[in-house]
Each structure stands twice: as C-alpha cells, then as structure tokens.
C-alpha cells in the first residue's frame, strides 16, 4: 500500500511524515528504509504476528508494509507546473490513496502560507490543482473516445459518462463523487485521475485539543468533516506534534503516554487502520518455523488469488487451502491439535479469504 501525504506548506505535513515513519520503524522493529529523501516504508502493526511468533519461534517475522510518500512542491499553480508541480502530481498518481494533511490549529509561531488558518480554503486550494490536472486528462480521453465513436457506436455510452465526469470537475468537485455503474467504474479506473483516488483528511490539531479531550469541539475539524462527507472521504483527527513525541518513546512509555491523554492507539496505528478500511484491505497470515508473515489483500479475494500474492506458481498450481482462524490456532497450540478438533478446514478455489486466516496453500506445478 502506497500513501501520498499532501498538504500546503506549514500545515504539519513533514512533521507528521517524519513522526509516523520513525514511530513505525521502532514499534514494529522494522528498519526505516529511505528509498528517496521523501519516501519512508513502515511495518503495519499487527499483534497477531507477535502472538503467532511466540507459538512458532520463527527465524523471521515479516509484517505487511505501507509506503509513505511525503509529496513536496504543492503551491497554487501546481497543475501548471508552478513550484515542483509536475513532480508533485506524478508522485500522487503513484499512490493508492491520498492523506491530505489539513491544519486545524492556530499558532503565532507557525506562519500559514495564506496568512490565516482556514481548512476549507486549504482543501479547496489543493483540490483545485488536482481538478485542473484531471481536466486535461479527461479532455484527452474525451477526444480519443469521440474519434473511436465515429468508427463504432458502442462508445456512445462511454462518451456520455466521460462528459458527466468532466461536468463534475467543472463544478469544482472531485471525480470520486460521480455516481457510476460497475462498467463505468472500470472505465474510470483506466484513467489516471488524481481526484478519483480515495482520500483521508488528516486534521492536524493542537496538542491542547488532544490532551484536553476536546477534539470533537474544534470548529475547524467540523469544517473538514463537512467537506469529507460531501466527497465520501474519511477524516482522521491527529496531532503531528504528539506523534513526533511518541516516535522517540519505547513501547511501554508510549502506551502510558497515550493512556494519559485518553487514546488507545497512536496516530500511525489509527492512520493505517483507516487506510485499510478506506481501500477495502485486510491481511491473511502464514505461520511456521522459518517465518511468520502477514499478506495484504483486498476484501473478497478468493484463495487462489491470495496464494498468488505469495508466488504466481502457487496460484497457477492451486489445489486447496488449509485454513484456520488465528485465534483457534493459538487456543489449540498447534496445527496438529487444531486438526484433531476439526478446526483446520480444507477450502477450494471458491473460498473467500477472511481477515486473520492462517493459511497453508497446497499446490502442484
């Protein structure tokens, strides 16, 4: 999963990026990996792996990972190449979803690039740049489809749909709000529109908001929630400064600190959980002596396709999947005991994988 973190200057975007990538590396014992100066890979926290590791004592524990891109260069005019606009837009296109950091706190020490703090205006500024870029892309697709229509009338419905998307963009709305059929969804999935990507608005609040337990009464947060509701986006209240403090703490100290301010999870954990939910993702597990590992798949994935995440040969030669829920496995203490109790199931090609399944794939190639 690749998440692009965007936002105007001085909204807390880079602070949040640095905090969550460092925190993720420490909490999951996964080495922080700098692919480029603005890219960080972190392990997805998953207590199920830790419990399975206690059972199997494997040589290696491998978490699912999330790649965060701290996308720089966004200013007004980014769609026309201002600042690092073109690089900024190309980086977003590589992302599975967008984490849009919005400043929701006042501070005399941190000057806002627009001279005042207004989350609605900031969201509109970035969305407008994405929309302007999408207009160019959709216009090229409309032109292409119009030519194809002259040769084959079957493209009439597609052209009507593309024009409907164009009209939505003209109204200053993102492509993701367009109502569509499954067929139309496939058409749009084939077009690299920035505003068709899923969005999480990370509302960056002050430390006082969190420590005072008064998060939901922040009027700026309410503005962000109102906008997100119209777009079908999600909102994650977060405090970049708190996350920066947490990133320097050990696990026990971190849990005590979170408990003191009334939180059960860090911002990183909540962000990843929200992203999984937004993108319809889940994890299945493989467990044994060499390795305990989590694999990320889309909800609704059938067993052969899940096997293909491990290796294409396993999908190609799929015979069956031996499946047990991780809780049942832990209670039984071994796969042999689970089989004796009838808790290990043999599933075929039509089995839809469930979150927390521990699987052994049988195959022959």
Tokens describing residue 194: 């920035």
Tokens describing residue 229: 């509701």
Tally Cβ neighbours within 10 Å of residue 183.
10
- To which residue do tokens 């020490």 refer? 109
**DSSP line for 68-82:** EEE-----TTGGGT-
Per-residue burial over 261-272, b = 16 or more CB atoms within 10 Å of its CB, e = otherwise: eebeebbbbbbb
Q: What is the pLDDT of residue 342?
A: 92
Tally Cβ neighbours within 10 Å of residue 38.
16
Decide the pairing of beta strands 318-325 and 357-363.
antiparallel
User: Taking the C-alpha atoms of 343, 344, 349 and 352 in order, what is their torsion angle to the nearest 10 degrees?
Assistant: 50
pTM exceeds cut of 0.75: yes
In 3D, which of 287, 267, 299, 300 has the Cα closest to residue 327? 287
Q: What is the pLDDT of residue 26?
A: 32
d(CA 204, CA 86): 26
Q: What is the pLDDT of residue 211?
A: 73
- To which residue do tokens 């080495």 refer? 31
Decide the pairing of beta strands 60-62 and 345-347.
unpaired
d(CA 237, CA 221): 8
Cross-strand pairs, 234: 200
Cβ 364 vs Cβ 319: under 8 Å: yes
The predicted-structure confidence for 300-335, as pLDDT tens digits, reads as follows 999 999 999 999 999 999 999 999 999 999 999 998
Q: What is the pLDDT of residue 80?
A: 58
Q: What is the pLDDT of residue 33?
A: 37
The predicted-structure confidence for 160-211, as pLDDT tens digits, reads as follows 999 999 999 999 899 999 999 999 999 999 998 999 999 999 999 988 887 7
User: Taking the C-alpha atoms of 12, 248, 21 and 110 in order, what is their torsion angle to the nearest 10 degrees?
Assistant: 10
Q: What is the pLDDT of residue 115?
A: 63
d(CA 227, CA 238): 17
Cβ 155 vs Cβ 148: under 8 Å: yes
- In the chain, which stretches have pLDDT less than 70? 23-37, 72-88, 108-115, 212-213
Cβ 307 vs Cβ 321: under 8 Å: yes
In 3D, which of 279, 286, 291, 289 has the Cα closest to residue 310? 286
Q: What residues have CB less than 8 Å from 329, skipping those under 6 apart?
A: 52, 55, 287, 335, 338, 343, 358
Q: What is the pLDDT of residue 262?
A: 79
Tokens describing residue 301: 């994935």
Residue 325 parent element (H or E): strand 318-325
């Amino acid at each position: 999963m690749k998440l692009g973190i965007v936002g105007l200057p001085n909204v807390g975007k880079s602070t949040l990026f640095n905090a969550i990538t460092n925190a993720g590396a420490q909490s999951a014992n996964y080495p922080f990996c700098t692919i480029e100066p603005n890219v960080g890979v972190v392990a997805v926290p998953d207590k199920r792996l830790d419990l399975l590791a206690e059972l199997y004592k494997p040589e290696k524990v491998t978490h699912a990972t999330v790649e965060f891109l701290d996308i720089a260069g966004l200013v007004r005019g980014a769609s026309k190449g201002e600042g690092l606009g073109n690089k900024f837009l190309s980086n977003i296109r590589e992302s599975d979803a967008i984490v849009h950091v919005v400043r929701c706190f006042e501070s005399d020490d941190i000057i806002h690039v627009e001279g005042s703090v207004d989350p609605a205006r900031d969201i509109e500024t970035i969305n407008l740049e994405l929309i302007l870029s999408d207009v160019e892309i959709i216009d090229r697709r409309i032109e292409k489809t119009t030519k194809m229509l002259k040769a084959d009338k079957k493209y009439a419905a597609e052209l009507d749909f593309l024009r409907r998307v164009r009209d939505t963009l003209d109204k200053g709305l993102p492509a993701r709000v367009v109502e569509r059929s499954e067929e139309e969804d496939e058409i749009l999935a084939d077009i690299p529109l920035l505003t068709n990507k899923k969005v999480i608005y990370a509302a960056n609040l002050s430390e006082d908001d969190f420590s005072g337990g008064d998060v939901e009464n922040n009027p700026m947060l309410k503005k962000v929630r109102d906008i997100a509701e119209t777009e079908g986006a999600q909102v994650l209240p977060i405090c970049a400064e708190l996350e920066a403090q947490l990133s320097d703490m050990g696990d026990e100290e971190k849990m005590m600190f979170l408990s003191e301010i009334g939180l059960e999870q860090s911002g990183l954990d909540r962000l990843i959980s929200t992203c999984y939910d937004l993108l319809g993702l889940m994890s299945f597990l493989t467990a044994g002596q060499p390795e305990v590992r989590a694999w990320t798949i889309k909800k609704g994935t059938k067993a052969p396709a899940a096997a293909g995440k491990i290796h294409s040969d396993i999908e190609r030669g799929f015979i069956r999947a031996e499946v047990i829920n991780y809780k049942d496995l832990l209670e039984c203490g071994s796969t042999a005991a689970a089989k004796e109790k009838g808790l290990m199931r043999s599933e075929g090609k039509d089995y839809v994988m469930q979150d927390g399944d521990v699987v052994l794939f049988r195959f022959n190639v």
